[in-house]
Structure formats: structure tokens, C-alpha cells
Amino acid sequence: MSEGQNTRVLLAERPVNRAPVASDFKIERVPVAEPAEGEVLIRNHFLSLDPYMRGRMSAMKSYAEPVRIGGVMPGETVGRVVASRHAGWRTGDTVMAHTGWQEYGLVPGERITRIDTNLAPASHYLGVLGMPGMTAYCALLYLGEPQPGQTVLVSAASGAVGQVVGQIAKIRGCRVVGIAGSDDKIAYVRDELGFDAVLNYRNSDGVAKDFDTLSREVAGLCPDGINVFFDNVGGVVHDAALSNIAQHGRVIICGTISVYNELEKPDIGLRWMRQLLVKRARMEGFLVYDHAHRTEEFRQTMAGWLREKRVIFKEDVAKGIESAPDAFIGMLAGANRGKQLVRFSQD
Amino acid sequence: MSEGQNTRVLLAERPVNRAPVASDFKIERVPVAEPAEGEVLIRNHFLSLDPYMRGRMSAMKSYAEPVRIGGVMPGETVGRVVASRHAGWRTGDTVMAHTGWQEYGLVPGERITRIDTNLAPASHYLGVLGMPGMTAYCALLYLGEPQPGQTVLVSAASGAVGQVVGQIAKIRGCRVVGIAGSDDKIAYVRDELGFDAVLNYRNSDGVAKDFDTLSREVAGLCPDGINVFFDNVGGVVHDAALSNIAQHGRVIICGTISVYNELEKPDIGLRWMRQLLVKRARMEGFLVYDHAHRTEEFRQTMAGWLREKRVIFKEDVAKGIESAPDAFIGMLAGANRGKQLVRFSQD
């Protein structure tokens, strides 16, 4: 394959306190590299685009190192082995790896995971059976501890994590309320996923509602308070939810996408912390990698739910690696409909 | 005793978004009441003044009902039974009850707790062996889960709760850092309680330091981050601590005294919530009444520590019920030196 070209997306500039734009990325074509001893060359079929990547574009210290300027944008991919110098892998194997935003990835053999396309389509390993699905599963069940009959509120309810959270909460017998930002997302969450209620955090003109409105609307949909608040969003939606937390409620901080374009302003945060005291509520940050020991439990359980159609999962697929920056920029603004993927055009 | 007078302190006005002043209280003298069947009349020796009482002066919904205007200010007291129409109690018994800010209290017999003055002085049952001590014990050990060698940061370190928290953390082998607001508090915490380090959150002119200064100073005293942050304060001290939380750190929200005079402004809160995500930290509100089942464990353990002089406890005693409003106003401003009590002048 070494005679081919590898198209990849680099970080050209760090957006500071603003949304990323196309010129923050640079698309380049380089020859496909040869694997060294112990390495495997993967031709990618799907790239996962996830909100956490916005954090990696920032130089701010977080739970992972920033991408360097000129470095390949990071990301998880599924693809097929096209050349191997590692005894564990053969040409044709379907695998998952962190190769980043590029058509071909060169990876040490021990950093690759085999995936079973008989169990589920390859793309699912980047979504409902992958990191977002496992995030939903472990964070909801092990941090949120939802009990039958309790109210679970999910922000970004139609997103890669949110749609799974709500469905698992339904399986566990909870009353599930979602928050999303457009009519078609609302319809998907309510009509296809079966949430009990959904709230649009935007007015009909597309502008986000203010705190008082949101807090009142959340109170209306959660009259007994929120027992588990699964937050992917932060900001005013978080405030509105926390102002309605139930006694001994649990808040899972899974993402803060509403402030991802303002990471360098550390004074943006929640305003209702006193509710934690008043309600003896618990708030906890979550990172799926801390739960690696639950991978097998998660895979088996979720595969069963998918088979039984108790969980469905929507993917929003952009075409071609060149579309990755625009798809990513759109996802941060809420333009995606379900889990955002990039499908490589050579398939 | 019915021929005597009962001096008591009523709530005259609710302070809204300001510190309480003397005219918010009304002192009145009424005849001492006679106990009805099942009731006990107690002559109080000590009244406990606690920050939570500021919350009760507000009409805002919290974990307890507000005091009504014209109602007796609430509070825990120790005293002696002077008349009883309940089979369980006899004249002369030393007891603890919630009689409020008054010299005499009339209480149903089943709402009284016997105290053992052979084990400790009566006043201790309002402090190190009472609600503040049990708050420190249960919240630190059961929510904070401090491990030997870990760093525990305590705000309001010389207060009724803070001084006990730090000493228990030392007993558990932790490195303990305190935050307090005056030179003599600093000296007490460092020299008498044996904290490893103490930080003054005020400049030499008495003005509170800003976030950047506090955050840097906390970082200097907690170079490996804060494993357990026991917060009695909220506000900028909370922000400064949270900006230095360690991975998997635990934050106990026990009090928010810095914002008690701004309860009606709900948009005051912490700014560093994203740290919870980045560090997968946990923040949890605490109320001692949720831990009532641990009372006996606490009493036995703390009595042992007091006997062995592993825990000491400082009390700041005002004289006479008429002094209660000023002592309370002073405590909210940080004027007290240790646990604030009122000793009744008739003793």
C-alpha cells in the first residue's frame, strides 16, 4: 500500500475562547508509511468525532495532553489491517485503534483492538458499543445509581452519549426527561427513543432560553425533582437542572460542551452549588477510561440490548476525511443528528 | 419556677442579601410557662450559636423550615430539668434539647437527650461531642475517605467544625492544611492543633485575597493537589481550592458561610466545576442528621480522643442571653475564636 497517499488533518491553530473554524485545521497528503517491526498499517473506514477533541485543541491542562500544532488531530477509528509486522495481526483483520483524523494509521500491534462485525456493524464500535456507549452505561449505572420510578434528566439527549443514557434509564424503570436543541432532535428523543418528556433549551428563534425560563420548565417536567442529572452540557442548562435537584440527587458531569469554546475563561461554571448542600446531593466527574475493567460487562450487556431492540442508536455520517473539520465544527454547534462519524471515501 | 421570668430572643426582621444587624432580633421577657402533661421545663446553661441559623432567618427554601417572624430563634441548648411532667425525667437531670435562644425551654419529654457530665463538660455536648463534632467526624470519614499521606484542606479551620476536622485528619495520618482569617486563628490552628500548614485568606489590611492569589498560595501549600477539601465557606476560597483539586479528590460541602448573607442571589457559586470533570472529583453536600445512626460510634470515638488529648477544642463563650444577637452577628463575620456558645448569666 506504500505507493498510496494518506490524507490527514492537522491542527494548524489553537482556537482560544472561540469556536474552531476551518482554518484551524490543515489538510495534507503524504505518502503512506511502511510499518516497522511490531507495527501494523490500518486503512480506516470510520473516524469518530467527539466533543472532547475540542479540549485537546486547547493548550489548557486537562485529563489528556493537548495536540501539538502541526500534529494529527486525535481520534478513534475502525478499519482493516493492510500490512502487518506484528504476529498478532493479519491483513484483512477488522480493528479499532486511535489513529486520528487520517486515512491510514500506523500503530504498534499491542495498541489495537479486534472488533466483531458479526455482533454489530463496524461503526457501532465507535458509538453505542464503544466509548460513548460505555460512558453512558458506566456513568449512569455506577455513578448515577438510578432506581425504578426515579426521574433521570439527560442533557444533549440526542447525542452519542445522551441517547444511550435515556434508553438505559428506561430499561431500569426510570422516568426519563431529555433536553435537546431542535424540533427534529426533540421528535427523535420522544418518538423514537421513548423518553417520557423532552424540553427544547432554545426558543423558536434558535436562541437559548434564559435561566429563569429553563428552571421553570425543568420544574414543570420534573415535579418531584431530579434524582439523576446526567450532564453533557454545563452552563445555563446545568444551572437550571441543579436548581431542581432532588434530595440525595446525583449529578454526573460527563461533558461541558456549552463552555468548550471558552475553556480559557475558568470562571465559567455552575451557580447553584448551594443546592448540593441543601439537598445533600452528589456531583461527580466521569471519565470512561477509569472504568476499563467494565468493558466486557458493558459489551455483552449492550450487545444484548441492541439484539432485543431495547436500545437503538442514530449515527450522523459525513463523507470523506476532508469533511472532518466541518463536521466537527458543526457538531460543537449542535448541527449533528446522533453520533457524529466520518466515513472514508475510499470504501 | 413559674414565678420567674424567661428572657428570649425573637426574629424581628429577615435580613435579605445583607448581614444581620441587632434590630433583626427582639429581646423580650415573658413569664416562665408551666409544663403540660408529657412536657419538661428546662433551665438552660448553654446555647449553641451556629452558622446554619443564618439560613433559618431567610425565607428561602432550604433543608429546614424558616423561622417565622416573631418566632424564637432556633438553637440547641444544654441545661437542667427544673420541672417535669414526663415519667422519663426528674428535676436536676442534665439534658440537651432544641429549646432555642431563651433561658427556659418547654419540651416534650421524648425530644430530650440525657448528657453525661462525667464524660465531658456540659458545653462539649454542643461542640466537639455534639453536632459540630459529629459533622466533622461523619463528613470527613464517610464522605471524604481520607487516606494516610493524603492532603486534607479545611476552610474555617479554627471554627467549631474545622478544628475537629483537622485533628481527625491528623489522627488518620494525613497532611493537613487549614485556611483561616486572622493571625491568632492561624497561630491556634498551627501551634495548638498541629496542622501542617495554614493560610490566611485575608491580606494584612483585613481584605480577602483575590482568586489568583489564593489559588497560587493553596497550590504552594498543596503541591500534590488536594485529596480532600472540607469546605465550610464557599465563595472565592472554594474556587481557589477547587482549582487545585487532585485527581479523584473529594469535596465536602458542609457550609457556605461566605454567601450566607447573599442567599437570595442564587447565582453565586463555584466557578471551577470543570475541575470535577478533569479530575474525576466528587463533590457532595452534607447534613449531619442523615448520619444519626452513627451517633454512638461518634460519641465513643470522640470521647476516647478527648481523653487521650488527641483532640482539643476551643470554645468562645458569650455571657447572657442578651448577648446572643451580637455574638451571632460577630460569628458570621469571623469574630469568634472557636465554637461560639452563650452561657446563661443566671449560672
Q: Are residues A117 and A220 in the same domain?
A: no
- B270 pLDDT band, cuts 50/70/90, is low
Please give the span between the terminal C-alpha atoms of chain B, in angstroms, as a whole number: 15
What part of A 206-225 touches B (C-beta under 8 Å)? 211
Give A-chain residues touching B58 at CB under 8 angstroms.
Answer: none
Cβ distance B280 to A259 less than 8 Å, yes or no, reads no
The answer to whether residue A274 neighbours chain B at the CB level (below 8 Å) is: yes
Say if CB B43 and CB B104 are below 8 A apart. yes
Cβ distance A63 to B280 less than 8 Å, yes or no, reads yes
Q: Are residues B178 and B257 in the same domain?
A: yes
The answer to whether residue A284 neighbours chain B at the CB level (below 8 Å) is: yes
The answer to whether residue B246 neighbours chain A at the CB level (below 8 Å) is: no
Q: Are residues B140 and B280 in the same domain?
A: yes
The answer to whether residue A282 neighbours chain B at the CB level (below 8 Å) is: yes
Per-residue DSSP letter, B216: H
Question: CA-nearest residue of chain B to A284?
Answer: B282
Residue among A243, A56, A257, A252 at smallest CA distance from A156: A257
Distance from CA of A333 to the nearest CA of B (A): 19
> How many whole angstroms separate alpha carbon A228 and alpha carbon A203?
25
Residue among B263, B197, B312 at smallest CA distance from B53: B263
Considering only residues A86 and A296, tell me which one the structure prediction assigns the higher pLDDT: A86
> Residue B78 belongs to what domain range?
5-126+314-343
The answer to whether residue B267 neighbours chain A at the CB level (below 8 Å) is: yes
Cβ distance B274 to A269 less than 8 Å, yes or no, reads yes
Cβ distance B256 to A274 less than 8 Å, yes or no, reads yes
* Average pLDDT in chain B: 88
The answer to whether residue B292 neighbours chain A at the CB level (below 8 Å) is: no
Which of A239, A255, A279 comes nearest B285 by C-beta?
A: A279
**Predicted complex ipTM:** 0.79
Residue A304 lies in a domain: no
A309-346 per-position pLDDT tens digit: 888 888 899 998 899 999 999 988 888 888 898 999 75
Question: CA-nearest residue of chain B to A139?
Answer: B280
Say if CB A203 and CB A211 are below 8 A apart. no
> How many whole angstroms separate alpha carbon B18 and alpha carbon B157?
24
Give B-chain residues touching A243 at CB under 8 angstroms.
Answer: 266
Residue A145 lies in a domain: yes
Q: Are residues B147 and B103 in the same domain?
A: no
* b/e burial code for range A108-128 (CB count within 10 A of at least 16 → b): ebeebeebeeeebebbbbbbb
Distance from CA of B272 to the nearest CA of A (A): 6
Q: Are residues B174 and B273 in the same domain?
A: yes
Amino acid at B122: A
**pLDDT at residue A1 greater than cutoff 50:** no
Give B-chain residues touching A277 at CB under 8 angstroms.
Answer: 63, 253-256, 285-287
Structural domain count of chain A: 2
Give A-chain residues touching B290 at CB under 8 angstroms.
Answer: 280
> How many whole angstroms separate alpha carbon A118 and alpha carbon B117?
74
Question: CA-nearest residue of chain B to A268?
Answer: B271
Other C-beta atoms closer than 10 Å to the C-beta of B138 total 23
Amino acid at B30: V
Q: Are residues B259 and B335 in the same domain?
A: no
- In percent, the amount of chain B with pLDDT more than 70 equals 91
Distance from CA of A239 to the nearest CA of B (A): 9
Give A-chain residues touching B266 at CB under 8 angstroms.
Answer: 243, 271-272, 274
Q: Which three cell numbers stand for residue A337?
A: 443528528
The 3-state DSSP class for residue A305 equals: helix
Mean pLDDT of B305-324: 88
pLDDT value at residue B3: 56
Question: CA-nearest residue of chain B to A257?
Answer: B274
- B1 pLDDT band, cuts 50/70/90, is very low
**pLDDT at residue B261 greater than cutoff 80:** no
Q: Are residues B169 and B247 in the same domain?
A: yes
Q: Are residues B39 and B165 in the same domain?
A: no
Residue A254 lies in a domain: yes
Q: Rounded to 5, what percent of chain B is helix, strand, coil? A: 35, 25, 40
Which of A255, A281, A285 comes nearest B281 by C-beta?
A: A285
Distance from CA of A62 to the nearest CA of B (A): 6
Q: Which residues contact B116 (CB under 8 A, 6 or more apart)?
A: none
Q: Are residues B279 and B329 in the same domain?
A: no
Q: Are residues B61 and B25 in the same domain?
A: yes
Residue B105's CATH number: 3.90.180.10
Considering only residues A213 and A17, tell me which one the structure prediction assigns the higher pLDDT: A213
The answer to whether residue B268 neighbours chain A at the CB level (below 8 Å) is: yes
pLDDT value at residue A2: 41
- B272 pLDDT band, cuts 50/70/90, is low
A270-285 per-position pLDDT tens digit: 555 656 666 667 777 7
Residue A305 lies in a domain: no
pLDDT value at residue B2: 42
Question: CA-nearest residue of chain A to B52?
Answer: A278
The answer to whether residue A145 neighbours chain B at the CB level (below 8 Å) is: no
Residue B308 lies in a domain: no
Which of A62, A280, A287 comes nearest B285 by C-beta?
A: A280
Residue A296 lies in a domain: no
| Helical residues (DSSP H) of A251-318, grouped into ranges | 274-278, 295-307
Distance from CA of A20 to the nearest CA of B (A): 20
CA-based angle B271:B276:B279, to the nearest 5? 130
Cβ distance A234 to B273 less than 8 Å, yes or no, reads yes
**pLDDT at residue B45 greater than cutoff 90:** yes
Question: CA-nearest residue of chain A to B232?
Answer: A277
> How many whole angstroms separate alpha carbon A300 and alpha carbon A297?
5
Residue A295 lies in a domain: no
Considering only residues A197 and B311, tell me which one the structure prediction assigns the higher pLDDT: A197
Q: Are residues B149 and B34 in the same domain?
A: no
Mean pLDDT of A151-156: 96
Residue B246's CATH number: 3.40.50.720
Q: At which of B249, B273, B289 does a domain end? A: B289
Q: Which three cell numbers stand for residue B211?
A: 482568586
Q: Are residues B58 and B187 in the same domain?
A: no
Other C-beta atoms closer than 10 Å to the C-beta of B192 total 12
Residue B305 lies in a domain: no
Q: Which residues contact A115 (CB under 8 A, 6 or more apart)?
A: A78, A94, A95, A96, A122, A125
Mean pLDDT of B176-205: 94
Cβ distance A282 to B279 less than 8 Å, yes or no, reads no
Give A-chain residues touching B278 at CB under 8 angstroms.
Answer: 61-63, 285
**pLDDT at residue B154 greater than cutoff 80:** yes
Give B-chain residues touching A266 at CB under 8 angstroms.
Answer: 243, 271-272, 274
Residue among A66, A74, A76 at smallest CA distance from A15: A66
